[in-house]
Amino acid sequence: MSTYKIYKAQFNNAKKLGVTIKPSENKHKKVDVFDKDNKRIASIGSIRYGDYHNFIDTKGKEFAEKRKAAYLARHAKTLRIVGSPSYYAAKILWS
């Protein structure tokens, strides 16, 4: 099970999408995403890297915004595919 700290804003982001999140059972991922039937639909966020809320806490908002822009540019092709792990990562970890 992941030791990643899920931020309140990330729970709120998931709720807006109609999904729930829990710490990942995959030791290499941060969060598991579940649908309304409690079926896991994605494991998102490599535990080795930061995310928007983590960067705000550790390095400040300006740094977090730069990393967010870089993440969104790097994943531009896949983050718009609704239901993909990239989509959920962008909407939950990077919003």
Count of domains for the chain: 1
Assess if residue 3 is contained within a domain.
no
CB proximity list for 72: less than 8 A, separation 6 or greater: 79, 90, 94
Polymer length in residues for the chain: 95
Residue 1 has pLDDT above 80, yes or no: no
Which residues form the domain of 21?
8-93
- pTM, rounded to two decimals: 0.93
Assess if residue 49 is contained within a domain.
yes
Q: What is the pLDDT of residues 60-84, one digit of tens each?
A: 999 999 999 999 999 999 999 999 9
Q: What pLDDT is attached to residue 59?
A: 97
Q: What pLDDT is attached to residue 71?
A: 96
Assess if residue 1 is contained within a domain.
no
Assess if residue 20 is contained within a domain.
yes
